[in-house]
Amino acid sequence: MNAKTVAKTGTTKTGVKKVTTSKAASSAKTAAKPAAPAKTVAKAAASSEVHAGMTEAELTKMPAKEYMNDAQLAYFKSLLGSMRDDILRKVDETVEHMREQDNVADPADRATVEEEHALELRTRDRERKLLKKIEQAIHRIDQGEYGFCEETGEPIGIPRLLARPTATLSIEAQERRERMQKMYGD
């Protein structure tokens, strides 16, 4: 979708060059902005939406003996699925945006456009890595292994999974791993 832009240039009282663009141009610029980080997306999705007929509050009120019951697994599978769909939608938007040719004559404007493209591509690369973790988490749900620490086998805990649905380690195991990495490097 190519949006033709009409730009007016003028100067403000302070002598700064001011460019006013049409509505079509401003909406095209809005679409080019990089998306929120995946972590923010996950928190927003977990706190504001109802997944699989449950809310976050209902999930946290469940007794510990019902850990990773069918309702909880359905909630997290729905949450992870919506995160995956959101990332894939953003990828499609990025591909469409990159196909649009921005013919910018001014080298400074061209540099700005290229920097925005680079930022958007870096964001998509991070989301690509997150997408892989989301797919692995959905696979763990299907296998009945979701919600339990890979190292200790202990429950990861609902609050941690709500904060980071792709978590594979309990807080204690993650802290232990981080201490070891700090001591011995990567």
Query: Which residue ranges in the chain fall short of pLDDT 50?
Result: 1-48
Give the whole-angstrom CA distance, residue 46 versus residue 51: 8
pLDDT at 6 (0 to 100)? 37
Q: What pLDDT digit, counting tens, does each position of 129-175 carry?
A: 999 999 999 999 999 999 999 999 999 999 999 999 999 999 999 99
Taking the domain 36-184, which CATH number applies?
A: 1.20.120.910
Report which of 60, 50, 36 is spatially closest to residue 160, judged by C-alpha positions. Answer: 60
33: CB partners within 8 A, 6+ apart: 116
Confidence at residue 162, expressed as pLDDT on a 0 to 100 scale: 94
Q: What is the pLDDT of residue 186?
A: 60
